[in-house]
Amino acid sequence: EPEVTQTPSHQVTQMGQEVILRCVPISNHLYFYWYRQILGQKVEFLVSFYNNEISEKSEIFDDQFSVERPDGSNFTLKIRSTKLEDSAMYFCASRDRSSGGNEQFFGPGTRLTVL
């Protein structure tokens, strides 16, 4: 069964460093998403991406964040200058246009630890 994959599973970085989190969505999907979950808190929406542009973003998704689909398979989230409060689990999700009612398929997550 096709699935969303994410790499790395765990990333440790120093405050102020740039990180890139990688996702490979399901191959025929057209909508892509990033969510995050700070330990003990809700899963929060960051950004959605369709047709090579951002279609929606939350207030969390400020200028420090960017997303890119550099080729036909990868979808990346970049944090330019990480802060301690960026430590969280980051989930990628994708959706097929034809899937009924916004069903999103999630990857296993990348745990980001900022020291």
Partner 1 sequence: AQSVTQPDIHITVSEGASLELRCNYSYGATPYLFWYVQSPGQGLQLLLKYFSGDTLVQGIKGFEAEFKRSQSSFNLRKPSVHWSDAAEYFCAVGRDRAGTALIFGKGTTLSVSS
Residues that bind partner 1 (CB under 8 A): 3-4, 30-31, 33, 35, 41-45, 48, 50, 55-56, 58, 91, 93, 95, 97, 100-109
In the bound complex, what is the minimum distance in angstroms from residue 15's beta carbon to partner 1? 26
DSSP strand pairing (5-7 vs 31-37):
unpaired
| Closest CB to partner 1 among residues 59, 85 | 59
Nearer to partner 1 by Cβ, of 32 and 86: the residue is: 32
- Number of other residues whose CB lies within 10 A of the CB of residue 56: 12
10-13/19-24 β-pairing: unpaired
Q: Check: CB of residue 8 under 8 Å from CB of residue 19.
A: no
d(Cα 71, Cα 46) in Å, to the nearest integer? 21
14 vs 39 by CB, closer to partner 1: 39
